[in-house]
Structure formats: structure tokens, C-alpha cells
Amino acid sequence: MKVYSSDKIRNIVLLGHGGVGKTTVAEAMAFASGAITRRGSVNDGNTISDFDAEETKRHFSVNTSILPIEWEEYKINILDTPGYFDFVGEVEEALRAAEGAVIVVSAKSGVQVGTELAWEKAEAAGLPRFIFVNGMDEEGANLVKVLEDLQSTFGKAIAPFQVPIKENGKFVGFVNVVKMEGRKFEGDRVVPCEIPDSMADEIDPVRQMILEAVAETDEELMERYFDGDEFTVDEIQDALKSGIVSGDIVPVLCGCAINGTGIGVLMTSICRYFPVAEMVHPTLDAVDKDGKPVKVECGETAPFSAFVFKTSVDPFLGKITYFKINSGILRRDDPVVNVTKDAVERMNRLYVMRGKEQIEVPEIHAGDIGAVTKLSVTTTGDTLCGKRIAVNFPPIQFPDALMCMAVEPKSKGDEDKVSASLQRLMEEDPTIRLVVDREMKQQLLYGVGDQHLDVIVSKMLNKFKIGIELKKPKVPYRETIRSKVQVQGKHKKQSGGHGQYGDVHIIFEPSGDLTQPYVFAEEVFGGAVPKNYFPAVEKGIQECVKSGVLAGYPMVGVKATLVDGSYHPVDSSEMAFKLATALAFKNGIPQAKPVILEPIMTVHITVDEAYMGDIIGDLNKRRGRVLGMERVGKKQVIEAEVPQAEMFTYPADLRSITQGRGMFSMEFARYEETTKEVQDKIIADSKLQDEAKS
């Protein structure tokens, strides 16, 4: 592949609902451009985009892949993203490297949840958009209905460029509404044809949509439109390009990727209408080494800087680092500094990656996407610079991974291997989190959803030959007391030589502070217990509260006041008083109405108003309490408090309830007494575990 200058590069991300054919569109573009000689199939598992073992097994995209193709003297970097919500981290990475988005929509299903989310993400990233209606050859395809769905959902920005020509129900060509010319498909070619007279009623309203969209880009054009003046083709195309770059116009193209129809037109439109990187981002925000904001000028003449937007681990090549050059030109063997890590990296060879294929190049220009292997410290989110500049670009904001399961190795002795292998997967996927819960003696694996976690389990087995099991996490319950009691604890033992004697009278009562395990006080009069034994008594309390009397969970909110006792001048010792304290604890706490506390989480759920009833009903089933509701934009935000034990699978459950439209965040609020039914179950489970150990 030859080296391309910035003005000839287009970076486009394919977005859309899962299963609408994004990977098939990418495959068709690669085939039409000559990048591949045989068109693969997702079902057959032989596309150049879905090359990972998990993708070929599951028949859908799990990772973002990059496919550079050459078309009409341009280079198009296609970023093919997963459509399933669990892999949204891959989408965020791709958005960071793109200057335009093609949202793929099914000609049968029209606007789906993934379509709306794709639009929102592209809009938030400030990307110009095309919509490609795929599957026009399929039975039930209805472009008119799809256009109505698109306009009702996204408004007047929708501007269809084509009206399909059908013969005997088959998609054989289209009318280019911009130029008002007919086109027919002949094999891989598109040839001119007459516009059928019978299509006037279909074409006129679509033509009016285009003219209205053009008129709204400029006041002078608007006046001419109302005066009934005709626009020239050049005026229409110039206005369309301006409107597309600003986001005011979103063209709709149609085709059928599975047989390649309409794909050449899509690529030509991408080259003609989508902007170069420098037009979308003339400057980029960054910070210098002192953390002060700076503006980085983009373009080939500026000093070299690049952002690492993706990392993958190949079993043969090792770590592959994908970067987008924001400014300057990177040449082979150029000295490069990782500003984020303050380390020098060596780049002996530069590549552009087409799926898993490495294509070596001598240099890469601003606006282009490149790759390098075996960098020592560089990870996703790092900034690479040349010697003339030292800046840091802001990191990618990944969604919080809130789906949590405890991870255990299937084979004993693999604990360290599990941690090391998951760390390698975390280099590839920053949405994965591994947390070591020392209190509950478990490793917690966090992912975006259940499918995400399932892929992680599969990758662990296939890539690292380590079998792991995911189990429901243990909840860090606490125990406390609800009443006041005074008890005696006496430890007296005689043996050869010195005996052991310790005697304490302790009042146990709630301290009122559940953030502290215990509060110790002494109110001993007359030297009944010498002061030098007070620390031993407190140490006894400190050790005892580590395990409560109901289910063995740590205790909180306990106040222990030493009020009386006795000692022996010879047989008393610190150990004896510590043991006496333990006896007092064992006897007294069961009398002080012990209860189990559970962690309560504050949850903020953002949903469409239509789902409010279902969400509140579901929260009630989880023993949650709704604290309030607030409208934010078009959404409703519900604030609630829910026991942590009920929230481990909530990401998947919320997605099911809202068809993927809901989002939530969660943070620890406090500990609170649980219900008797839950408490009884916790105690019963604890007894079963004790019996299993014995």
C-alpha cells in the first residue's frame, strides 16, 4: 500500500445495531476496492474483519478492526465496530480515531436501539454521518418506511440521496436524487439508465427533502428555494458537503452489502463528502508536561504527535499498538517519546493493519492510522510525540464496568496465572476490571455485561489455556448490636507454677457509628483492674469484633466499656485479661440483640419515560427504595437505594428491561439492618459453609 497525504485520507467508523451487517459492509468495501479477491461471510467465519477466534465462533464482532482500502486515489480507513452493547469500549476506541461515521440500518427493521445509540455517540463525538440502509434485496425491505422512521427519530437532518429502482421485486439500481440521474447495477459496475416514468411519485418527495436540507444551509439558498429557483448540481453538492461537515445534513444511501450493490456509490460518497481530519479538528486540546492546557495544530507540517486508541495481543506478534497520528509525519526509526509514561519507545517497523494482516510502510502522515508491535510500556490512552513537542491528549472515557462476578480457577494452583492472564486481557480491553477483595478472599471480575464476561472466560481458555469459573460474589455483610448488656468474663486456670487469672465486667452497647468496628472506654474505679491491663482488654475487643456471633461477619458500631473486674497479683497477665475479654464478648453479644447489616448502594438510573413503571417495579423486587426522580433533557433519572446483594446482575437486567436504552451508576451509601428473612438465609448459608469445611 502506498503512502497517502492527509488530504487523501478518510477515517470512517461503522456503527449500528447488532446484526445489521456492518462487517458485511466492510467486507464488501474491501472486495469492491480490490483489497481482497474473495468476499468472505460472517456465517462462514472467514471475513477479514472478524478474524478473532471468538468472532468466528460467535458470528458477530467482538473487537474493532481496521481495514484500510484504496478507492479513487483516496485511502479509506474503515473501523468496523461491534454492534452488541457489551463491547461498547471497542466503539469508544474507534470513535476516537474517526472523522466520519456510517450508521448501518436494516432495510427491514429500520431504526433500532443500536441505531439510536450510534447516532448519539456520533453526535457526541462531533462526527459527520451517513446512513447506509442495508439489505435492500431482502424480502420485506421497505426504504420508504425506513426513511419515515429515520426522520421521525432524528429530524430534518435526514436527506435521502437515492430512490431504489426495483424490477420484479429485486433491487437493480437507484435514482441519484442529487443529480436526478438513473443508475443500474451490472455485475460490479454501476451504469447510467433512464429514470422510470412510474417512479415520479416516489422521487418527488425525496427530491424535496434534499432541496429543503440544502436550503437550510444558507440564507441566500433559502430565499431562492422559496422563490422557486432551481439549484445547480454544483450548488447542491457544495451545500451538501458543508451541511454534512456541520452535521446539519445526514445523507441516506442504500444497497445490499451481501452482493455488493450500492457499495461503490457509498465509497465514492465517503471520499467526496466526508472531511479530512484537519477539517474536523484544525486543533486538538491537550496538556503540556506541567498539566497546562495547550492547543496542538494538526496537519502534516506540525511536529509529530499521535494518540494510542487501541491495543491488542497477538499470540505470534505479541502486543500490537494502534495509533492515530494527530500531527506531523512518523517515519521508520524516528525517535518517539511516550509522554504519558515519560519513556522512549523504539519503532523499527511501521505498519498499517488490514484485519490481522500487517502491511509495512515507510512513513505515516497526519490523519492516518498506523500500528507498531512490541512497544515496551505503551498502552491504550497514551500519547506519543517526537522531540519537538511534548503534550498529552485526553484519555478515552470508557463506560464503567458494573457487571460483577467472582472469578475462581478450575484447577488448584492457577490463582497467579489467572491474575497475570487477566492483566494481559485488560491491556486489550480497558473496560475489564479485576479487584482483589481481601476481606471476602475473592477476586472480582467486572465487565460491561454478561456476554462480555462470557467472552473473557472463553478467551482465558483459548488464549492462555486457563479454565476459570464465574460465581456470584460474596457480599461483605457486617454485624452489630441493638441493645445494651453488662456481662462478666472470667478466665481462671491453675497449672504447675503460675496460674492464669483475668476477670472483667464489660458493658456492650451500640456506639451509633457504623463506620468504626468498635469504641473502647473504661470506667473502672478503685483499681479493680490495673491500668496496665486496659490495652489487653482493648486488644481482646479488637480481635473479637473481626468475627460476629451470627454468621461470622465483622462487627461494627459496638461500644465496649470496662466497668469492673478483679486481678491476681501473681497469676494475672495480659493474655489472661485478653482471654477474659473474649469470654465476655462470647457471652454478652448474643444477649445484645445482634443483627446483620448489608451494604446499601445509591443508584442513579437514566431511562426513557416509557420505562419508568417497569424500572420502579423492578427496584421494588430488589428491595430498593426510590428516593426521587428528575428530568434531564429527554430522559428521566431515578435515584434509589438498593442492597448491594441485589445489584450484581443489574447491568444485564436493566438492558433487558429497557432494550439497551437504560444506563446507571452506583456507589456505596452505608450499611443498614437487613430483613429477618434475608438474615435467616445468611445465617443458614454460613452454617452450611462451616459444615462443609469441617
Which CATH number goes with the domain that contains 295?
A: 2.40.30.10
In a domain, 575, yes or no: yes
Instruction: Indicate the pLDDT class of residue 156, thresholds 50, 70 and 90.
Output: confident
pLDDT tens digits, residue range 566-606?
999 888 899 999 999 999 999 999 999 999 999 999 999 99
pLDDT at 290 over 90: no
Task: Write the pLDDT tens digit of every residue in 85-124.
Answer: 899 999 999 999 999 999 999 999 999 999 999 999 999 9
Residue 496: per-residue pLDDT:
63
On whether both 317 and 431 belong to a single domain, the answer is no
DSSP code, position 117: H
- The verdict on 147 and 164 lying in the same domain is yes
Confidence of residue 212 (pLDDT cuts 50, 70, 90): confident
Please indicate, yes or no, whether residues 540 and 670 belong to a single structural domain of this protein: no
Identify whether 683 is part of a domain: no
Residue 690 lies in a domain: no
Domain of 437: which CATH number?
3.30.70.870
CA distances from 79 to 178, 265, 581 (A): 28, 18, 67
| 416 pLDDT tier (thresholds 50, 70, 90) | confident
Local confidence band at 15 (pLDDT 50, 70, 90 cut-offs): very high
689 occurs within a structural domain: no
**pLDDT > 90 in the chain, percent:** 71
Say whether both 97 and 230 belong to one domain. Answer: yes
Domain CATH for 258: 3.40.50.300
Sign of CA dihedral 511, 513, 517, 523: negative
Same structural domain, 504 and 463: no
Q: Which of 234, 250, 279 is the last residue of a domain?
A: 279
The verdict on residue 148 lying in a domain is yes
Residue 687 in domain:
no
pTM of the model: 0.88
Q: How does the average pLDDT of the chain come out, rounded?
A: 92
- The CATH number of whichever domain residue 517 belongs to comes to 3.30.230.10
- Band of the pLDDT at 538, cuts 50, 70, 90? very high
Do 519 and 458 share a structural domain?
no
Question: Is 397 contained in some domain?
Answer: no
pLDDT greater than 80 at residue 315? no
pLDDT range class, residue 281, cuts 50, 70, 90: confident
At 639, which CATH number? Answer: 3.30.70.240
How high is the pLDDT of residue 360? 94
Residue 694 has pLDDT above 70, yes or no: no
Residue 245 scores a pLDDT above 80? yes
Do 352 and 455 lie in one domain? The reply is no
> Are 162 and 195 in the same domain?
yes
Say whether 274 sits in a helix, a strand or coil.
coil
305 shares a domain with 225:
no
Residue 331's pLDDT band (boundaries 50, 70, 90)? Answer: very high
Cα gap 23→14, rounded to integer Å: 8
- Name residue, grid cell 481482646: 540
Task: Tell whether 694 is covered by a domain.
Answer: no
Give the mean pLDDT of 656-680.
94
| Residue 487 clears pLDDT 70, i.e. is over it | yes
CA-CA distance, 561 to 523, in Å (whole number)? Answer: 7
Tally of structural domains, the chain:
5
Q: Out of 279, 308, 341, pick the residue that ends a domain.
A: 279
State yes or no: pLDDT of 692 exceeds 80: no
Task: For residues 150 and 270, state if they share a domain.
Answer: yes
The pLDDT, as a whole number, for residue 318 is 83
State the DSSP code for 63: S
Same domain, 245 and 122: yes
Q: Apex CA 277: angle with CA 271 and CA 283, to 5°?
A: 160
Average pLDDT over residues 640-651: 95
pLDDT in tens, 539-576: 999 999 999 999 999 999 999 999 999 999 888 899 99
For residues 550 and 559, give the distance between their C-alpha atoms in angstroms, rounded to a whole number.
Answer: 18
Cβ burial 526-538 (10 Å sphere, 16+ → b, else e): eeebeeebeebbb
Query: Which residue range(s) make up the domain with 618?
Result: 596-678
Q: Where a domain ends, among 471, 486, 516? A: 471
* Residue 137 banded pLDDT, cuts 50, 70, 90: confident
The predicted pLDDT at position 497 comes to 66
> 621 with 577, same domain?
no
